[in-house]
Amino acid sequence: MNAANLLAQIVVVALAVAAAPLFMAWVGQCRAWLANRRGPGLLQPYRVLRKLFHKDAVLATRASSLFRIAPYVQFGAMACAAAIIPLLGTDLPFATAADAIALVGLFAVARVFLALAAMDIGTAFGSLGARREMLVGFLAEPALLMVFFTASLIAHGTALPAMATAITGHPLAIYPSLAFAAVAFLMVLLAENARIPVDNPATHLELTMIHEAMVLEYSARHLALIEWSAALKLFNYCAIGFALFLPWGLPDRVGSGMLAALPVVALKFAAAGAGLALLETVSAKMRIFRAPEFLATAFLLAVLGLLVRLLLGS
């Protein structure tokens, strides 16, 4: 681990942290265009974050310190995850510190802390949100792991760089098992990032919200960090999707190749954002108790992918 690699790692994480709100804004802008609206522009999330950071934090009288540290833990977990995922290259030093299973564990840390914080004040909505979030989580997490397992059978290992290079290593290989996994992954991505059809990021209707119900009591810098880490989470999930299913264009060593990869990655994100917006525009939100069926389908699809890989070797 030399200085150049370390520097590259820090730059990549900083880039991910900085670009995540932009990606969120891009999805929102596409949705606005699809709904024939003008949209708030790409800089809106940054303005919101700036406003929130300047405000005084208002804490409920009953809040304990767990409530105050949870946003930082969540933000730290998401930034840490950005370091694990091969976003701009497969040779970054932190990739060996954690593999795909540890990455899922990291997402679970963020989720558990946020759910605990939501229960901390003891309001009706907080505990409702925590319960629903854990409900989504306990179904989405195994599905995500099964997606990783399918890829790991192709790559012979659970390290993310190995998964990314295993697919690019065979230029003409088409894996039906990965197609199952990709569909499952997309469903998990929608559920885990509180998108339609599982949750609606724009809603504040109390009975339907999941993520928003958990963060109702947060304000100012804590809320800013939560919003930022939610954006970073979506960004990370998309980056995982690229690493697993569209890994072309990732340089395998640190250097100027990473600069060249930047436009390719940006293009992938732009396309993914537009696709996500389209998907959200054409689908309707489900009732909360349809969510388990949705996620169970994702889980079964991922298991099917695994079996296809094992039985047919394809």
Partner 1 sequence: MLAVPPLWLAIGAAGLLRPRSLRLSALWLFPLGAAAAFVLAAASLAELAEPAQSLVLPLGLPDLPFHLRLDPLARFFLFLLGAAAGGVSLFAAGYFRKGEGTAPGLLCLQYHVFLAGMAMVLLADDAYLFMVAWEVMALSSFFLVTTQHRIAAIRSAGFLYLLLAHLGAISILLCFGVLQGGGWQFTFDAMRQAHLATPWSSVAFGLAVLGFGAKAGLVPVHVWLPEAHPAAPSPVSALMSGVMLKTAVYGLLRVSLDLLPQPQWWWGLALLGLGLFGALFGVIFAAVQTDMKRLLAYSSIENLGIIFGGLGLVLLFAASGHPLMAALALSATLYHCLNHAFFKSLLFLATGAVLHATGERSLGKLGGLIHRMPWVAWLALIGTLAIAGLPPLNGFVSEWLLLQAFLFTPQLPQPFVNMLVPLGAAALVLSAALAAYVMVKFYGVIFLGQPREPALARAHDCGRLERIGLSWLAAGCIALGLLPVPMLALLDAVVRQLLGTGLGTLAPWWRLAPVAVERASYSPPLFLLVGGAVTLGAAWLVHRLYHGRVRRAAAWDCGFPLQNARMQDTAEGFGQPIRQIFEPYFRMQRELPAPDDPRPAYRVTVEDRFWGALYLPAAAAAQATARLVGKLQQGRIAVYLLYSFVTLLALLVFVL
* 142-181 residues near partner 1, rule: CB under 8 A: 142, 145-146, 149, 152-153, 155-159, 161-162
Cβ distance to partner 1 smaller for residue 124 or 282: 124
Q: Report the candidate in 192, 201, 168, 178 with the shortest Cα–Cα distance to residue 280.
A: 201
Nearest distance, CB of residue 270 and partner 1, angstroms: 27
Q: How big is the site for partner 1, counted in residues (CB under 8 A)?
A: 80
Residues 268-287 that bind partner 1 (CB under 8 A): none
Taking the C-alpha atoms of residue 110 and residue 29, their distance in angstroms, rounded to an integer, is: 27
Taking the C-alpha atoms of residue 153 and residue 143, their distance in angstroms, rounded to an integer, is: 15
Name which position in 22, 34, 42, 112 contacts partner 1 (CB under 8 A): 112
Cβ distance to partner 1 smaller for residue 226 or 277: 226
The end-to-end CA distance of the chain, in Å, is: 36
Asked if 148 and 101 count as a contact pair (C-beta separation under 8 A), the reply is yes
Cβ distance to partner 1 smaller for residue 111 or 195: 111
Taking the C-alpha atoms of residue 223 and residue 49, their distance in angstroms, rounded to an integer, is: 9
Q: Report the candidate in 61, 77, 64, 81 with the shortest Cα–Cα distance to residue 116.
A: 64
The token pair that represents 255 in the structure block: 């250097």
Name which position in 108, 246, 274, 286 contacts partner 1 (CB under 8 A): 108
Residues 207-246 that bind partner 1 (CB under 8 A): 216-217, 221, 225
Kindly provide the b/e burial profile for residues 164-187, where b requires at least 16 CB atoms within 10 angstroms of the residue's own CB.
bbbbeeeeeeebebbebbbbbbbb
Residues 181-200 that bind partner 1 (CB under 8 A): none
Cβ distance to partner 1 smaller for residue 272 or 302: 302
Name which position in 5, 127, 208, 297 contacts partner 1 (CB under 8 A): 127
Residues 22-61 that bind partner 1 (CB under 8 A): 53-54, 56-61
Taking the C-alpha atoms of residue 99 and residue 96, their distance in angstroms, rounded to an integer, is: 7
Name which position in 8, 83, 243, 272 contacts partner 1 (CB under 8 A): 83
Name which position in 8, 27, 106, 244 contacts partner 1 (CB under 8 A): 106
Residue 279: partners with Cβ closer than 8 Å, 6 or more residues away: 190, 196
Cβ distance to partner 1 smaller for residue 29 or 229: 229
Interaction between residue 8 and partner 1 (CB under 8 A): no
Name which position in 7, 37, 51, 138 contacts partner 1 (CB under 8 A): 138
Interaction between residue 11 and partner 1 (CB under 8 A): no
